[in-house]
Structure 1
Amino acid sequence: MSRTALRICPLCEATCGLSVTVEEDIADGRELLGQGRITAARGDRDDVFSKGFICPKGAAFGQLDADPDRLTRPLVRRDGQLREAGWDEAFAAVQAGLRPVIEEHGANAVAVVLGNPNVHTVAGALYPPVLLSTLRTRNVFTASTVDQMPKHVSSGLLYGDPLAIPVPDLDRTDHLVVIGANPLDSNGSLCTAPDFPGRLKALRRRGGRLTVIDPRRTRTARIADRHLAIRPGTDALLLFAMVQVLFDEGLVDLGERAAHIEGVADVERLAAEFTPEVVAPACEVPADEIRTLARELAAAERAAVYGRIGASTVEFGTLTCWLVDVVNILTGNFDRPGGVMFPLSATGAAPRPPKPGRGFALGRWHSRVSGHPEAKSELPLAALAEEIDTPGAGPGHPGAPDGPVRAVIAIAANPVLSAPDGERLDRALAGADFMVSVDPYLNETSRHADVVLPPPPPSRSAHYDFAFNALAVRNQARYTRAVLPLGEGRPDECEIHARLILCAGGQDGADPGLVDAMVIDAALGKAVADPHSPVHGRQPAELAAELTGESGAERRLDMMLRLGPYGDGFGADPEGLTLARLLERPHGIDLGPLTPRVPGVLKTRGGTVDLCPEPIRASEAARLRTTLARRPEGLLLVGRRHLRSNNSWMHNLPALTGGSNRCTVQVHPQDAARLGLTDGGTALMKGDGGELEVPVEVTDAVRPGVVSMPHGWGHDRPGTRMGVAAADPGRNVNQLNCGTRLDVLSGTAVLNGLPVQLAPAPSIPAARS
């Protein structure tokens, strides 16, 4: 017997709606999985946001869901070996391992590591903040510092809120400039847009233009009107030159937001020396091309500049992200239709009267060993290994922990593959006193854990996109409950997180529902005390009694929807949004196009856009100036995204392997001929962190002087249980990186524009017969 059910895809940032076919009453023989399986997935044509679009990852949803290598029971280390255990035993082991570390060495002896998949689940969005507030450790590491942290920092400096990230209004723009992004393969990132290819086609149909700035001729670059093959890591120079042209030629027009922008003259002074002629040799982009692009953006009725990971994971990542917004602001394309705009998530804060905020601060504390400043309460992931394996109190950096990390909580994280110098981190984790992983796989990182807590497959979890709706190109809300039952005795992912929080606080055995109740009580208490809230003056207990939902997480979602910008305000707006209304609309609720939000979105101390924030003005522009004469010898390494992959966590699915999804080093034919490399041969690649032997792919998709490898491979370590990935392990490109190259302001690892050397791999003499 089969049926169809709706599900929001959790496998990338596009958040497409799926219609899945469920085969009922089929037991697969594995304990605790329950009955039923997903046999097919297709796009939901009635989804209010994705309208039927699907990519290969979504089509493989059923295969990922039923992956036989997924763990179904906890693992607990006994006598040096990880063995299956019951849930109560596993959580008892977590508390027994964590609490002595905390009690003897303090909270900072525990590091929390959060991986990318956290933002793709309800549990990952709702519970880690509670865990961090329970632990109060300063040793917090996330995937952000090998990804988007520069954008958080630049937004914090500009707008006072690191989560206030403007996105391109794709459906109404006339000229889109894409820097260091390949949305035809990534499906978009920090820009939630199902069917990015269709949206770019629509741009072209309405007479718009697409410009791509990227050292690779990506799938996105191939459909562009103009492709500027820039030298990696020089995007900030090119953008500064565009800013100089805008000022020099009188093209600056702040538009309707002019009264809310401060520091324009300071930006003009900083940009004055970065003329197109000065930066062109470093960028290897002709000066007239730079001028033309600046003029076209200024002349376009509606334009948007969008930068992503290639603009973030570079030496000047924060400066580049800042300049992306500066160009949008100076051309009058800020906070207006067709430009860049701030989404308004249904679970976000309801708009309030504009007023000055607290602003955004960097470096409130530092890491113990190298003294890296925190950014958004996080330390660089590249510093995790040294924080574990370096003994002593450190040299006394301001606010630094006073001793090494002794215990690690890793949630949906595989930093052995995703962080620089995974070999050192591999050894460091093996030497930690205690480690717990929340992960469905025994992978390169979780194999070091003393306890592994596996969440259920995605079909057995509800889904709401808390993070990505705050980055969506159209306001909407969609929620899907679990498609299949958990199976007897198996906790859902939210309960796993709640019990982990209780263990960290020394309360193993308490009711996990207490965690949700605590959060609800605190949030409602704050709401009733807010004079601008629709529930001001009411009783929290009365409001809590009105919440609906089958679980604590659903009650929290109902509360957030009711108090959000479209909510019913617990009866204040009878037509407003609630969980019940969302459940009545299984294909989602369209909340309309993006609308202007300035000045209400601003939280700077002055209540305006701080266009030239002090860290930029004081040092970053001057530091960039010193690179004008710099010409690194050898080759520059950049990353590569595959449509059928997402970092390190999708290489175990047969449907997503092979074809173009290969771990090769792409080399331009000129460089290949010069270096004696052949297509299909093997090269020895060296970086400042190590060397690898990698298969060669000769292609003109990369410009001369640049080589490209994908991230997240290297599944060849013993002790893992990922059979498909291990059969085609690839090589871990991050091992070429020693982790000392960081963007100064954000602590983000430099993963693009990394100098490397390439040569034919030495041949192995044949054995004598």
Structure 2
Amino acid sequence: MENGTHFRTCHLCEAMCGVAIEVKDGHISSIKGDENDPLSRGHICPKAVALQDLHEDPERLRKPVRKTPDGWKEMEWDEAFDLVARKLHRTRTDHGRNSIGVYLGNPNVHNHGSLVATMPFLRAVGSQNRFSATSNDQLPHMLTSLEMFGHQILFPIPDIDQTDLFICIGANPMASNGSLMTVPDFRGRLKRLKSRGGKMIVVDPRRTETAKLADEFHFIRPGSDALLLMAMVHTLFQEELVNTGPAGPLVKDVDLLRLASLSFSPEAVAEHTGIQADAIRQLARQLATTPKAALYTRMGTSTQAFGGIATWLAYCLNILTGKLDVPGGVLFTQPAIDLVAIGAMSGQNGHFGKRHSRVRGLPEFAGEYPASTMADEILTPGDGQIRAFVTVAGNPILSNPNGRRLDEAFEGLDFMVSVDYYLNETTRHADVILPPTAALERSHYDLIFSMFAVRNTAKYSDKLFDAGPDSRHDWQILLELAHRLEKLRKGGNLPLRSELGWRTFKKLGPDPILDLMLRSGPYGASGQPLRGLAQPALDLIIDLLPKRHPLRGLANLSSMNRRWEDLPKGLSLSALRNQPHGVDLGPLKPTLPDRLFTRDGKINLAPRRFLDDLERLHKKLELSPEDGLMLIGRRHVRSNNSWMHNSQRLVKGKDRCTLMLHPKEASRLGLQTGDSAEVNSSAGKIVLPVEITEDIMPGVVSIPHGWGHDREGSGQSIASSHAGASINDVISDAQIDDLVGTSVLNGQSVNVKVWRPTRQRKRA
């Protein structure tokens, strides 16, 4: 690698911050924010400098390893591929195709090569037992978008750069840099919001880093967000504040939502939420009467027992107050590579409940079962029992509810393979680990998070370092396994045409596909808007073709379409290579009705499945609020899930894995700062230090997500020396959102007591 400054995108969270990496004598000498990046404008968080740590980590695996009685032994790649393909094929032959389970972790969506190769790999495995981090994360948003707008990843994004009121419920963008709202430098954007006279309101069980900057803050009982939001809907109708704005002609079933909200008055929900009725009304009024306003919800509202309803109602509130598809409200992005439109063109809008899991009967979403039932499917005998497992860039032992039970499940598998470059809490159960190259050793383009960004941009980066000939990218690993599995399924040989196709795919890799998608997209280099008779001819073809005809879809996607004539043109891979800081494609703009993918072209304000689930919410309203302590997670700006704790600069300093509780609860339990507390539930128990603070609501305790590196057999020494405790060891995998299937990660009940170590008797 040449000496000098190289510009890339940090891949360690959703923010897509631009970084300037200085290289000297083949090594990184500094990492700074790229001031010319059109999205992040020089901002980086502490995680960015850890790109060097991850790249240079001596404990990162670089060759395949196999578990033996004498420990882990390195293998050659061909030997490893043969072994894995043979074992998976034998499992499928002996026990059926559903005897193999697959789990995909979050890092996959930061990696365009992995995204391109995942689908052929999954087809080659052929199993319906697929899982991912989706059901521990954003599944309610995906189901809501599918039901209301017709596509599972068509998310309305807060236009924070132009809004005057930002209402944030159950989210902490100061720590996360946004989630399903890619927003680097949230602090700077908030400062600009306030400088133009704007305001931020935060609702959360904890006074988070974001809440401390708010103009107005309200504590709320965990799991009661749906009641708050329904009471706000009730207020809008009661006080005649409903005004659907420019999107109004597209909105249907407003009266159904009005009827559904009748019994959820602010007075009825006040005790359950912990928010006074007048404050609830005022929240609704401020949203309705501020012309440029946006309501945003995230993990705290989605990963709870009523996450589906809460997310749906948040969307409804933005629509009822006229904030959808208007600048300063919530808008749909128009990315350079429009996976929403590409998916819709091929009929891949998303689906829900086409089949149900074997043991608990939980619904699939887009072909995946809820991750909470993975252990059930492995531990429960019978036809379809999972006997072999594949994890790709995931650590579900620490990120999935009831991690100890999943430990037991993975330990009993016939065979397990992990595509990962760390020996961590999950991969230690594998028989074979196939390590891919690190992020700086491959090219990068954000296919996913460009669709969720608060501004339309595009940026591509070539690899920064050469990984060497004896290494494999993750897309190469997945395609090689898929190819070998297909050959074994066909008896050892593939038809010549198919064989040539596989070889070509493996040779070309993901970047030519990326180039094709850029060129054929709305900003593409494939052509300028047509002139003369050509444009009317294209318009006529589009009108004559059936609505769902693939050629119509291609014409609509093309940069030659009239509706893209105001967008900048000329994007291709080579064009982005010549713009290393990235390309600014402009602010979010109104896109309706073109961006809708529902069958009737309308916004479904009151989908039947959400209305039906309101009976469950009614029952909660009829019961008294639960006594005892309720558990919530939390995020820190120097962490993202479990995979960054082997960087000393990210874990150094004050212990962050603490039990946070209010002084009132500490006094009642006899706990003081510096004590250790035992937290227990039906799932298990953990011990961790106490942090007493008034920044958390009485009756609530908080533990950060992603820790618990004390399990034997992990190969991450820094993480192990800052082990912490896993919140998921006390979260039951039996509790899910009945509507969506999301894991209940916030709002489960726990018990807390002073922990005193058991003294061992001295031997006589």
TM-score higher than 0.5: yes
Partner of 2:473: 492
Any idea what SS the aligned residue of 2:20 has?
strand
Residues 351 and 449 of structure 1: CA distance in aligned 2, closer, same or farther (over 3 Å): closer
8 A contact 1:360–1:604 mirrored in 2: no
Query: Deviations 1:144-198 (Å, cap 9, x if unpaired)?
Result: 1111111111111111111111110110111000010110011111001111111
8 A contact 2:325–2:331 mirrored in 1: yes
Paired residues for 1:553-702 under 5 Å: 553-569=510-526, 575-618=569-612, 620-628=613-621, 629-660=623-654, 662-702=656-696
Q: Which moved more, 1:124-133 or 1:404-413?
A: 124-133
2:718 to 716, 724, 727: 724
Partner of 2:537: none
Partner of 1:14: 15
Q: Is 2:436 the counterpart of 1:455?
A: yes
Paired residues for 1:124-203 under 5 Å: 124-203=114-193
Aligned equivalents of 1:259, 1:517: Cα separation in 2:
51
Please tell me the residue identity of whatever aligns with 2:22. T
Aligned equivalents of 2:327, 2:250: Cα separation in 1:
17
What's the C-alpha RMSD, in Å, of the aligned pairs?
Answer: 2.5
Q: Is 2:262 the counterpart of 1:269?
A: no
Aligned equivalents of 1:595, 1:517: Cα separation in 2:
44
Partner of 1:425: 406
Aligned equivalents of 2:326, 2:485: Cα separation in 1:
46
Q: Which moved more, 1:65-74 or 1:321-330?
A: 65-74
Shift of 1:387: 0.3
Residues 284 and 462 of structure 1: CA distance in aligned 2, closer, same or farther (over 3 Å): same
Q: Is 2:22 the counterpart of 1:65?
A: no
Residues 701 and 520 of structure 1: CA distance in aligned 2, closer, same or farther (over 3 Å): farther
Please tell me the residue identity of whatever aligns with 1:339. G
Identical pairs, percent:
43
Aligned equivalents of 2:124, 2:160: Cα separation in 1:
40
Q: Is 2:434 the counterpart of 1:444?
A: no
Aligned equivalents of 2:446, 2:184: Cα separation in 1:
13
Partner of 2:752: 758
Aligned equivalents of 2:434, 2:140: Cα separation in 1:
32
Aligned equivalents of 1:520, 1:612: Cα separation in 2:
48
Any idea what SS the aligned residue of 1:701 has?
coil
Shift of 1:507: 6.1
Residues 551 and 510 of structure 1: CA distance in aligned 2, closer, same or farther (over 3 Å): farther
8 A contact 2:153–2:340 mirrored in 1: no
Please tell me the residue identity of whatever aligns with 1:272. L
Aligned equivalents of 2:493, 2:701: Cα separation in 1:
54
Query: Deviations 1:501-550 (Å, cap 9, x if unpaired)?
Result: 22332369999xx999859999xxxxxxxxxxxxxxxxxxxxxxxxxx99
Aligned equivalents of 2:184, 2:654: Cα separation in 1:
22
Q: Is 2:93 the counterpart of 1:100?
A: no
Please tell me the residue identity of whatever aligns with 1:697. E
Q: Which moved more, 1:213-222 or 1:571-580?
A: 571-580
Aligned equivalents of 2:10, 2:348: Cα separation in 1:
36
8 A contact 2:166–2:294 mirrored in 1: yes
Aligned equivalents of 2:122, 2:401: Cα separation in 1:
24
Partner of 1:744: 738
Query: Deviations 1:193-223 (Å, cap 9, x if unpaired)?
Result: 1111111111111111100010100110011
Paired residues for 1:149-548 under 5 Å: 149-348=139-338, 361-393=351-383, 403-506=384-487
The runs of 5 or more residues in structure 1 that have no matched partner are 25-35, 394-402, 523-548
Any idea what SS the aligned residue of 1:76 has?
strand
Aligned equivalents of 2:514, 2:434: Cα separation in 1:
24
Shift of 1:392: 1.0
Please tell me the residue identity of whatever aligns with 1:483. L
Aligned equivalents of 2:467, 2:179: Cα separation in 1:
31
Q: Which moved more, 1:265-274 or 1:450-459?
A: 450-459
Shift of 1:106: 2.4
Please tell me the residue identity of whatever aligns with 2:711. R
Aligned equivalents of 2:121, 2:366: Cα separation in 1:
16
Q: Which moved more, 1:708-717 or 1:622-631?
A: 622-631
Aligned equivalents of 1:518, 1:12: Cα separation in 2:
34
Please tell me the residue identity of whatever aligns with 1:342. F
Shift of 1:413: 0.7
Aligned equivalents of 1:38, 1:510: Cα separation in 2:
46
Please tell me the residue identity of whatever aligns with 2:512. R
Residues 166 and 756 of structure 1: CA distance in aligned 2, closer, same or farther (over 3 Å): same
Please tell me the residue identity of whatever aligns with 1:481. D
Shift of 1:361: 4.2
Shift of 1:606: 2.2
Shift of 1:754: 1.1
Query: Deviations 1:77-130 (Å, cap 9, x if unpaired)?
Result: 345743111111111111111111122222211111000111111223221122
Partner of 2:541: none
Please tell me the residue identity of whatever aligns with 2:517. M
Q: Which moved more, 1:420-429 or 1:318-327?
A: 420-429
Aligned equivalents of 2:653, 2:331: Cα separation in 1:
37
Shift of 1:241: 0.3
Query: Deviations 1:239-289 (Å, cap 9, x if unpaired)?
Result: 000000000100000111111111110000000110000000100100000
Residues 356 and 137 of structure 1: CA distance in aligned 2, closer, same or farther (over 3 Å): closer
Shift of 1:64: 1.8
Partner of 2:24: 23
8 A contact 1:153–1:745 mirrored in 2: no
Residues 359 and 437 of structure 1: CA distance in aligned 2, closer, same or farther (over 3 Å): closer
Q: Which moved more, 1:231-240 or 1:153-162?
A: 153-162
Residues 244 and 429 of structure 1: CA distance in aligned 2, closer, same or farther (over 3 Å): same
Shift of 1:356: 14
Shift of 1:603: 1.8
Query: Deviations 1:692-731 (Å, cap 9, x if unpaired)?
Result: 1221111111111110000111111111100001112111
Aligned equivalents of 1:588, 1:569: Cα separation in 2:
20
Please tell me the residue identity of whatever aligns with 1:704. P
Partner of 1:3: 4
The runs of 5 or more residues in structure 2 that have no matched partner are 530-558, 561-568
Aligned equivalents of 1:461, 1:6: Cα separation in 2:
14
Shift of 1:745: 2.1
Please tell me the residue identity of whatever aligns with 1:560. M
Any idea what SS the aligned residue of 1:627 has?
helix
Aligned equivalents of 2:291, 2:632: Cα separation in 1:
34
Residues 510 and 719 of structure 1: CA distance in aligned 2, closer, same or farther (over 3 Å): farther
8 A contact 2:113–2:509 mirrored in 1: no
Query: Deviations 1:381-428 (Å, cap 9, x if unpaired)?
Result: 1100110111013xxxxxxxxx20111110001111111111111111
Aligned equivalents of 2:510, 2:345: Cα separation in 1:
32
Any idea what SS the aligned residue of 1:505 has?
helix
Aligned equivalents of 1:518, 1:329: Cα separation in 2:
47
Aligned equivalents of 2:83, 2:501: Cα separation in 1:
24
8 A contact 1:358–1:604 mirrored in 2: no
Any idea what SS the aligned residue of 1:755 has?
strand
Query: Deviations 1:303-358 (Å, cap 9, x if unpaired)?
Result: 10010100111000010000110000000000111111111121115969x99989
8 A contact 1:350–1:565 mirrored in 2: no
Residues 500 and 339 of structure 1: CA distance in aligned 2, closer, same or farther (over 3 Å): same
Any idea what SS the aligned residue of 2:487 has?
coil
8 A contact 1:435–1:450 mirrored in 2: yes
Shift of 1:761: 1.1
Aligned equivalents of 2:722, 2:412: Cα separation in 1:
28
Shift of 1:359: 7.2
Please tell me the residue identity of whatever aligns with 1:297. L
8 A contact 1:4–1:19 mirrored in 2: yes
Any idea what SS the aligned residue of 2:691 has?
strand
